[in-house]
Amino acid sequence: MAAAGNRVTAQVFGSPGMKYAQYVFLASIFSTVEYGLAQTCAVESFSVKDNFDPKRYAGKWYALAKKDPEGLFLQDNISAEYTVEEDGTMTASSKGRVKLFGFWVICADMAAQYTVPDPTTPAKMYMTYQGLASYLSSGGDNYWVIDTDYDNYAITYACRSLKEDGSCDDGYSLIFSRNPRGLPPAIQRIVRQKQEEICMSGQFQPVLQSGTSG
């Protein structure tokens, strides 16, 4: 009986197949832990578009998804038309609908001008914006182009305030498309990856594009 017991023990704990399965399981755990340790949500660690070209970025974009900041923000039918002036300065006119007082939905027009604090990182801009009506706010935000292929999609990001650990306390992001009807699956996968990289995965909501605001 003792010999039989030894054989059973060898089969359970010494099986090559079992050892391989245990190895794969442990490797997957270590890989997940390493990814979590490697990923940081410090805003300054976020990558932006290399060699950003404002002239290729110019033109009309439609917002397909957004992560709102705190306070008032455009609700739907968001679009932006970017123009590069002769001196290289980029400006924009944007439209969208906004909800005031919790029930009053109106079309809003905004204007913005962009500056580049560090010429070596042209994708990290500062945006000064004005609401073209007295009830719309004016101010300034960082405007980072996280990624774009210029022809199909763009991902923009802004952080208004930081936590002590350098992560964002109040920020927003927009997913833009040249086509208001959406993005192809291959590009959607790229966008999801970028959402994870800026620590906003699962925080976006779709933006209706019905043409209401022109």
The residue extents of the domains of the chain are 2-38, 45-206
pLDDT at 29: 45
CA atoms of 109 and 96, how far apart (whole Å): 7
- The string of pLDDT tens digits covering residues 54-79 is 999 999 999 999 999 988 789 999 99
Q: Measure the CA angle with vertex 48, ends 128 and 142; round to 5°.
A: 20
- The string of pLDDT tens digits covering residues 87-112 is 999 999 999 999 888 888 899 999 99
When pLDDT is cut at 50, 70 and 90, the band that residue 31 belongs to is very low
Lowest-confidence pick of 8-22, 47-61, 63-77, 107-121 = 8-22
Is 90 exceeded by the pLDDT of residue 27?
no
| More confidently predicted of 21 and 85 | 85
**213 phi-psi bin (left φ>0, alpha ψ -120 to 50, beta other):** alpha
Q: In DSSP terms, which residues pair with 126 in a beta bridge?
A: 115, 142
CATH for 45-206 is: 2.40.128.20
Q: How many C-alpha atoms does 13 have within 13 Å on its Cβ side?
A: 5
Phi, psi (rounded to 5 degrees) for 59: 115, -165
pLDDT at 15: 52
pLDDT at 13: 35
Is 70 exceeded by the pLDDT of residue 143?
yes
Tell me, what amino acid is at 54? P
pTM: 0.80
- Length of the chain, please? 214
Is 70 exceeded by the pLDDT of residue 12?
no
Torsion 59-64-67-72 (CA) sign: positive
- Share the mean pLDDT of the chain: 86
Instruction: Report yes or no: 172 and 69 within 8 Å, Cβ to Cβ.
Output: yes
